[in-house]
Structure formats: structure tokens, C-alpha cells
Structure 1
Amino acid sequence: MVAAEADIHESLRIILSTVPGERIMQPTFGCGIKTYVFDEISESVLTEIRDAIERAILFFEPRITVERIVIDSSAAMEGRIDVLIDYTVRGTNTRSNMVYPFYFLEGTNLPDKQMDR
């Protein structure tokens, strides 16, 4: 059972990190939240991200039922939003969750001590 839950967790991570069209044999696979990288974070954009995640999970991960998706934008000034997904595994009726950090700024924001070298 633990292996199946780990597979589901990894599957969710892959779905969220894949852009539709990235996989040649499955062009519709993925979530597409990376298309929001350059958008200004607003309530409407957060709602669009949440809806895109919900649709992708519905289509590509039939082993679970999504109970709740929460977008935490408290770290938006640092270039990150956290996606909390609460779900139930259909085969075992086991509840689980995952947090997916979505970075929408480039990875060049190094701490000052790194820049002093």
C-alpha cells in the first residue's frame, strides 16, 4: 500500500511539473501552471491555477479523489506559491496530502553572502 501511495504522490508531482505538449506521445498530458510564471499574482490568477490543477488531476490521476486544493501565496514576494492538495486514494479510502512548491521567479535570487565571493 505504501508503494502505491508513493506512486500517486510522484504522479501528482509529474502532472504538476509537466507542460502540455512536452510529451510527444501524450500532447495533452500535464497541468500547464508554468504558463503563469510571468503573470502578476492576483486572486483571479490563483483561481486559474487552482482550476488548472484540479482539471489535470481529474483527467490524469484516476486513482484519487481531490478533496481540497489550497493555494498559499504568503511566500509570493519570494517568488513561490505553495499548492496544498488533500486527496483520498479511491482503492483504499486512505486520505493523504501533498504540498507542491511552485516557483514563478527565476532561480537567480542568491543570498547576499553568495554574491560576496
Structure 2
Amino acid sequence: MKEETFLGTGWSFPPSFNADSGTVITVSDATDIVQSLQILLTTKLNERVMRPDYGCDLTPLLFENITVTLLTGIKDIIKTAILKYEPRIDVADIAFTSDESTEGVLNILIDYVIRKTNSRQNHVFPFYLNEGTYIK
């Protein structure tokens, strides 16, 4: 019998299987939260059956020039999605980085606290933009 984990267990992402036992590979605790965040951030609205409002639809923003207004909008979209669909964490901060060596990539840095353990974690999500965008 499997031991229950403190923060939950879910399928690994991307889903993978153990060929020997014929079972799905699972992840637990902080790893499950990180993979859940990755799924939430990469899922478009209306993409999931029976959950049309699940996800962070950042794709319409791909070809926008990066302004303070746009960054504030991205923060709001992400905070709202996490608040609604990832109850195991509290968002402490969302910040952005970009440099010339990764032109066309805006790294979204999400600092969060796991509620049950009060441990601080972070997740970096690379948001791929079009060539020639810039931060004003």
C-alpha cells in the first residue's frame, strides 16, 4: 500500500508509464506543485473539456510590445489562475526578467509559499515572444 503524501500525488507531466508494472508514474509534494503550475501556465482557455476557464491564456499576448501595462496584465492573469486552481500555494511575488542573450524570451519568475509547510519556492516560466520585442 502506498504511503499518503502531505501535499498530494498526481500523474507526472508529461505523462509517462512504467513498462514493467504497467502503471502510470506519479509525482508527489513540491514536485507535483511545480508540474501543476507548468500545466496551468501552458493551458489555453477552452482547451480542457468540462473546464473551459482553466488555464492562463497568454498566447494572444505573444506579439505585443512589452510595457508596464502588459506586464501588470500578465501578473493578474497568472495570480487569478493560481488563486482559482492551485489552492496549495500562495503567490508571494511575480517578476519578469529578459536579457539580450535570450532575446524573444520573457522569464516569468513566480515566488510562492506552500501553505501546509510554509516553505518558500519559486518557478521560472519562459514565455517565448516574437523577435524584436522590448521592455519600455
Question: Would you identify which runs of 4 or more consecutive aligned residues in structure 1 move more than 4 Å?
Answer: none
Task: Confirm whether residue 37 of structure 1 aligns to residue 68 of structure 2.
Answer: no
Task: Confirm whether residue 90 of structure 1 aligns to residue 115 of structure 2.
Answer: yes
The counterpart of 1:65, out of the listed 90, 95, 98, is 90
**Partners of 2:43 and 2:107 in 1: how far apart?**
17
Coordinate RMSD, CA, aligned? 2.0
Alpha-carbon contact 1:50-1:71 (below 8 Å) kept? no
The counterpart of 2:51, out of the listed 26, 30, 38, is 26
SS at match of 2:120: strand
Provide closer, same or farther for how the CA distance between residues 98 and 74 of structure 1 changes in structure 2, counting only shifts above 3 A: same
Provide closer, same or farther for how the CA distance between residues 36 and 75 of structure 1 changes in structure 2, counting only shifts above 3 A: farther
Question: Who wins on radius of gyration, i.e. which is larger?
Answer: 2
- The answer for unaligned runs of 5 or more in structure 2 is 1-5, 7-26, 132-136
- The answer for unaligned runs of 5 or more in structure 1 is 107-117
Normalising by structure 2, we get a TM-score of 0.71
> How many residues align structurally?
106
SS at match of 1:12: helix
Letter paired with 2:72: T
Letter paired with 2:105: R
Q: What per-residue deviation string (whole Å, max 9, x for no partner) do you get for residues 30-67 of structure 1?
A: 01112201212111111111111111111110000111
Task: Confirm whether residue 99 of structure 1 aligns to residue 127 of structure 2.
Answer: no
Letter paired with 1:39: E
Higher helix share: 1
Letter paired with 2:81: A
Alpha-carbon contact 1:33-1:53 (below 8 Å) kept? no
Task: Confirm whether residue 54 of structure 1 aligns to residue 82 of structure 2.
Answer: no
Alpha-carbon contact 1:75-1:81 (below 8 Å) kept? no
**Partners of 2:114 and 2:125 in 1: how far apart?**
18
Letter paired with 1:97: N
Provide closer, same or farther for how the CA distance between residues 32 and 75 of structure 1 changes in structure 2, counting only shifts above 3 A: farther
SS at match of 2:84: helix
The percent of aligned pairs where both chains have the same amino acid is 44
User: Counterpart of 2:106?
Assistant: 81
Normalising by structure 1, we get a TM-score of 0.82
